[in-house]
Amino acid sequence: MPPALLISGGHIIDPGQGIDKVADLLITKGKITWIGNKGTAPSQPDLTIIDASSFIVCPGFIDLHCHLREPGFEDKETIATGTKAAATGGFTTVCCMPNTNPPLDNQTHIDYVKQVAETQGTVQVLPIGCITKGRQGKELTEMGELARAGVIGFSDDGDPVTSPRIMSLAMDYSQALGLPIIEHCEDTELSDGGCMNDGWVSARLGLKGTPKAAEDIIVARDIALAHLTRAKLHVAHVSTEGSVELIRRAKEKGIAVTAEVTPHHLTLTEERVMGSQLEKNDHLTYDTKAKVNPPLRTKEDINALIQGLKDGTIDAIATDHAPHTTVDKMCEFGLAAFGISGLETAFACLMSLVHSNQLDLKTLISKLTSEPAGIIGTRYGELGTLKTGCRADVTLFDPNKEWTVDSRDFASKGKNTPFDGYRFKGRVITTIVAGKVAYGDKLS
Amino acid sequence: MKTIEPSSGVVSPEAIPPPSTDMWQRRHILDLDDFTRDEIELVFETADAMTEVLTREVKKVPTLRGKTVVTLFYEPSTRTRASFELAAKNLSADTVSLDASKSSVTKGESLIDSLRTIQALGADIIVMRHSQSGAPYLAIQHVNCSMINAGDGWHAHPSQALLDLYTIRHHLGQLANLKVAIIGDIMHSRVARSNLWGMTTMGARVVLCAPSTLLPRGLNNFLASCHLSNVSIENKIESALENADVVMPLRLQLERQQSGLLPSLREYIQLYQLTTERLSLAKQNVLVMHPGPVNEGIEISPEVAHGTQSVIEKQVANGVAIRMALLYLIAGGKNK
pLDDT tens across A43-94, in order?
Answer: 888 899 999 999 999 999 999 999 999 999 999 999 999 999 999 999 999 9
B161 and B32 in contact (C-beta within 8 Å)? yes
Residue A385 lies in a domain: no
Does pLDDT of B165 surpass 60? yes
Q: Do B134 and A333 touch (CB under 8 A)?
A: yes
What's the average model confidence in pLDDT over A113-130?
A: 98
Same domain, A35 and A167: no
Domain over B159-315 is classified CATH 3.40.50.1370: yes
- Calculate the CA B53 to chain-centre distance: 21
Residue A311 is predicted with a pLDDT of 98
A219 and A185 in contact (C-beta within 8 Å)? yes
Residue A441 is predicted with a pLDDT of 77
What CATH number does the domain containing A134 carry?
3.20.20.140
Nearest CA in chain A to B226: A204
**What's A150's DSSP letter?**
T
Same domain, A89 and A133: yes
Same domain, A220 and A135: yes
What mean pLDDT value characterizes chain B?
91
Same domain, A20 and A91: no
B315 and B167 in contact (C-beta within 8 Å)? yes
Residue A336 lies in a domain: yes
Q: Do A205 and B134 touch (CB under 8 A)?
A: yes
Q: Note the pLDDT tens digit of each residue in B57-70.
A: 999 999 999 999 99
What's the average model confidence in pLDDT over A242-270?
A: 98
Does pLDDT of A113 surpass 90? yes
Residue A384 lies in a domain: no
Same domain, A50 and A104: no
What CATH number does the domain containing A405 carry?
2.30.40.10
Q: Which amino acid makes up residue A253?
A: K
Same domain, A175 and A133: yes
Q: Could you state, in order of their start, the residue ranges of all structural domains in chain B?
A: 37-157+318-330, 159-315
Name residue A13's beta-bridge partners. A20
Question: What 3-state DSSP class applies to B30?
Answer: coil
Residue A164 is predicted with a pLDDT of 98
The verdict on A193 touching B (C-beta cutoff 8 Å) is no
CB nearest to A205's CB, from B110, B112, B155: B155
Residue A443 is predicted with a pLDDT of 55
d(CA B292, CA A425): 54
- Total-model pTM: 0.94
Nearest CA in chain B to A335: B132
Residue A386 lies in a domain: no
From A325, A341, A376, the end of a domain falls on A376
Residue B188 is predicted with a pLDDT of 96
The verdict on A335 touching B (C-beta cutoff 8 Å) is yes
Between CA B326 and CA B328, with CA B327 as vertex, the angle to 5 degrees is: 90
The band of B109, judged by pLDDT with boundaries at 50, 70 and 90, is confident
Q: Which of A16-25, A310-319, A420-429, B4-13 has the lowest mean pLDDT?
A: B4-13
What's the average model confidence in pLDDT over A160-167?
A: 98
B132 CA to chain A: closest CA distance, Å? Answer: 6
Does pLDDT of A168 surpass 80? yes
Q: Note the pLDDT tens digit of each residue in A273-323.
A: 998 766 655 678 999 999 999 999 999 999 999 999 999 999 999 999 999
Same domain, A137 and A102: yes
Same domain, A35 and A65: no
Nearest CA in chain B to A332: B135
Q: What is the CATH number of domain B37-157+318-330?
A: 3.40.50.1370
Rounded to 10 degrees, the C-alpha dihedral A31/A33/A35/A39 comes to -110
What domain range is A353 assigned to? 60-376
Residue A206 with chain B: CB contacts under 8 Å: 133-134, 152-156, 190, 193
Residue A236 is predicted with a pLDDT of 98
From A324, A346, A376, the end of a domain falls on A376
The larger pLDDT score, comparing residue B75 to residue A341, is at A341
The verdict on B317 touching A (C-beta cutoff 8 Å) is no
Residue A282 is predicted with a pLDDT of 61
Same domain, A64 and A47: no
Does pLDDT of B5 surpass 60? no
Residue A382 lies in a domain: no
Interface with B, mutate which of A269, A279, A332, A335 (most B CBs under 10 A) = A332
Same domain, A328 and A354: yes
Does pLDDT of A417 surpass 80? yes
Residue A116 lies in a domain: yes
The verdict on A207 touching B (C-beta cutoff 8 Å) is yes
Nearest CA in chain B to A274: B134
Does pLDDT of B1 surpass 80? no
The verdict on B285 touching A (C-beta cutoff 8 Å) is no
Residue B100 is predicted with a pLDDT of 80
Residue A204 with chain B: CB contacts under 8 Å: 193, 218, 222, 225-226
Domains in chain A: how many in total? 2
Same domain, A416 and A347: no
B230 CA to chain A: closest CA distance, Å? Answer: 16
What mean pLDDT value characterizes chain A?
96
Residue A281 is predicted with a pLDDT of 58
Between CA A414 and CA A213, with CA A236 as vertex, the angle to 5 degrees is: 110
The band of B333, judged by pLDDT with boundaries at 50, 70 and 90, is low
Question: What 3-state DSSP class applies to B16?
Answer: coil
The verdict on A280 touching B (C-beta cutoff 8 Å) is no
**A121-156: b (≥16 Cβ within 10 Å) or e:** bbbbbbbbbbbbeebebeebbebeebbebbbbbbbb
Interface with B, mutate which of A283, A285, A301 (most B CBs under 10 A) = A283
Same domain, A77 and A34: no
B154 CA to chain A: closest CA distance, Å? Answer: 5
The larger pLDDT score, comparing residue A417 to residue B9, is at A417
Indicate which residues of A carry an active-site annotation.
320
Closest CA to A135 of A169, A112, A158: A158
Residue A136 is predicted with a pLDDT of 97
**A60-92: b (≥16 Cβ within 10 Å) or e:** bbbbbbbbbbbbebbebbbbbbbbbbbbbbbbb
The verdict on B11 touching A (C-beta cutoff 8 Å) is no
Q: Which of B83-97, B248-262, B291-305 has the lowest mean pLDDT?
A: B248-262
